[in-house]
Structure 1
Amino acid sequence: MDTINFYKALRGEKLSSSIGDITFTTHYVGELILTSGRLVACDPLAFPDSEAFQKSLPIGKYPVFLIVAHYPRNNDQRVAYAIIRISEETPISWKLGICSDEELASLTENDTLGYPVDSGVGCFMDFDAVKILDDSIYYAYIANPQEESLIDLIQDELRKNYRPTWDWANVCIDKSTQLNIIAFSSGYGDGIYPTYFGYDTEDKIVNIVTEF
């Protein structure tokens, strides 16, 4: 991750580019509920059965923010970073989030390690949400095609929070635990996007950032 640009974006500073100055705004989009502490970052519409990261987090709820880049041409706005804030401490080091050791073992210098996006949407959710999402898809599309799935609900909520060239949704999928999925536009759309874990001086995780 380009940490210099990330911290500039976090502070709302401008970045110079060939098309002019890029400005940034930060948007709070809700608290992510972690019921198992096993975090998943994925495209929930195209790859809802994704794996969790190896690193677990304390069970609890954590604020999620989007840093949106504003480009000078055509009022174009794109989600540049999605952030989970675990604590108020400042990260001093970053490590790439991985789901399995095989990922790093097979990585070459030309590869990008991250999660694939095929619907223009990324998300954060607890691994407990994956089974609920999978069951919903099976029930709606196979067992009872007339039933609306959670995929439809996520898309509906994204449309409600649409603004030019980006959107987001905070969708509760289990009322008893308040388990939720926080979804958002993935930068310029489809691609592969890495997620990084930020650590403080005591080697504790303080931030998780997906870079778009």
Structure 2
Amino acid sequence: MFGFGKKEKKKELKQYITGAGACVVTKSVLNGETGLKWLFREKDGIGNGWVALGESNTQAYVDDAANYAIVDFNTLANIEPAVLNILHMPAGADLEFKPDASGGYFVDTVNGKEIREPVKAPIQEAFEQNLKYLNKESYPAEELLRYFHGKGDMRIFCMGEADFPSGEIIIADPLVYLGNDKYTEPLNRKIPAGSYPVELAILDSPVAGLRIAAARLKIRETDICRYEIAMPAGTTAAQYNQPGIFAGFGVDAGMACFCDAAAAKEFGEFSDGWHQQNPGKNQYDDYFAQLFRSSYEAYPDVQREDGDFIEWAVPGYGHRIAMFASGLGDGLYAGYWGLDAGEEVTELIIPFMNPDYFS
């Protein structure tokens, strides 16, 4: 009659978010005994570092470790969905919850700013800024020179050499477009036939991890006076952005390369033959992946575990192609000629990431 022995039905949690990590919540907030009031993020704290305190929690209450529970961040979002807006705020964030007719919002106690929209993850913010930075018609010389000064979080690493028997350079995604004349063509300046070192600017970023921020093909040791965007053969920088003329190259497999035009044709022949001999197989997974992993084993301090670069000689021909990861991965990138006082090519550089956005 009185319902003795019946259990109260547990409220089912909504799935607001997954993979956000654990957080710390006072039990009074978790049990609905008091409303959420304070939220702060600890550096090197439990889980994702967020700690939630209740409106009625006294100092004595919060000083007692027994009054805390560790829960998934989604559990806290079920208590107050507004926490989804602040998930990506940095360590040190100190927030106060303000209920209102819309449900509520947080206020940054440091600067008084109201937070009513989702704060972007640092990597997303940096990525969006980086898109605006790339593929400009020109940069001040010091802007591109800084990549290879070896200062701050940047390290310079010579990954090997690339061979240029014809002196015509192709920059492309080697795993998708190299060897296909429809999608690649030589650049508008030639270099003397020969072999040249390829250097990588390695950025150790707290936001993006270990990445290749830029790559350059070093041609001469003369001082650079200016940079000029590399255009397709038969065009000049003056034709940048004219209809039908595209400066730059697309990346769809997270890789770029420095390659001679003759070596690109050799690569196309090798690739065609490999696919004929290996029907149904993936050329990266079943051929190149092991080469990149071996590169990591040889140089683990300057690349990620799957490997970020290889100096690779085309089987049957011997000409070397330099392949390397393109910063954050897929996208549109451009090369730039470094020119000396006599307008001779000193280097060809491909910037992938502005280090200022990822530090």
TM-score range, shorter chain: 0.7 to 0.9
Look up the match of 1:107: 241
Alignment of 1:31 with 2:161, yes or no, is yes
Report 1:41-52 matches (<5 A). Answer: 41-48=171-178, 49=180, 50-52=184-186
CA distance in 1, matches of 2:237, 2:252: 20
What does residue range 52-67 of structure 1 map to in structure 2 within 5 Å?
52-67=186-201
Task: Name stretches of at least 5 consecutive residues in structure 1 with no aligned partner.
Answer: 15-22
Tell me the secondary structure at the aligned position of residue 187 of structure 1. coil
Q: Provide the TM-score with structure 1 as the length reference.
A: 0.82
Alignment of 1:57-206 (within 5 A): 57-73=191-207, 76-100=209-233, 101=235, 105=239, 107=241, 113-141=247-275, 143-145=276-278, 153-162=287-296, 163-164=303-304, 167-174=308-315, 178-206=318-346
Instruction: Summarize the Cα distance change of 1:39–1:153 in structure 2 as closer, same or farther, 3 Å threshold.
Output: farther
Report the CA distance shift for 1:150/1:60 in structure 2 as closer, same or farther (over 3 A). Answer: farther
Cα 1:102–1:144, aligned 2, differ >3 Å: closer, same or farther? farther
Give the whole-Å Cα distance in 1 for the aligned partners of 2:197 and 2:204. 23
Closer/same/farther in 2, CA of residues 28 and 119 from structure 1, 3 Å limit: same
Tell me the residue number matched to 1:11.
Answer: 149
Say which one has the larger Rg: 2
SS at match of 2:211: strand
Identity over aligned pairs, percent: 23
- How far the C-alpha of 1:186 sits from its partner, in A, is 0.3
Aligned equivalents of 1:44, 1:181: Cα separation in 2: 9
Q: Is the 8 A contact 1:124 1:183 kept in 2?
A: yes
Which has a greater percent of strand?
Answer: 1
Q: Is the 8 A contact 2:141 2:224 kept in 1?
A: no
Tell me, in whole angstroms, the C-alpha distance in 2 between the residues paired with 1:79 and 1:134. Answer: 26
| Residues 140 and 120 (structure 1), Cα distance of their counterparts in 2 relative to 1, 3 Å cut | same
Instruction: Render the CA deviation track for 1:56-77: whole Å, top value 9, x for unaligned.
Output: 1100111110001111347x11
- How much is the aligned-residue C-alpha RMSD, in angstroms? 2.8
Structure with bigger helix share is 2
Q: Identify if the C-alpha distance between structure 1 residues 112 and 131 changes in structure 2 by more than 3 Å, giving closer, same or farther.
A: closer
Cα 1:181/1:73, change in 2 over 3 Å = same
Matched residue type, 1:64? V
Report the counterpart of residue 20 of structure 1 in structure 2: none
Note if contact 1:34-1:125 (Cα within 8 Å) is conserved in structure 2: yes
Contact 1:150 1:173 in 2 (8 A): no
Distance 1:8 1:130, change over 3 A: closer
- The one-character-per-residue Cα deviations of 1:65-106 (angstroms, maximum 9, x if unpaired) are 0001111347x1111110111111111011111114399757
C-alpha contact 1:113 1:192 (8 A) present in aligned 2: no
Change (3 A) 1:140 1:58: same
Quick one: distance in 1 between partners of 2:168 and 2:282? Answer: 23
TM-score by length of 2: 0.50
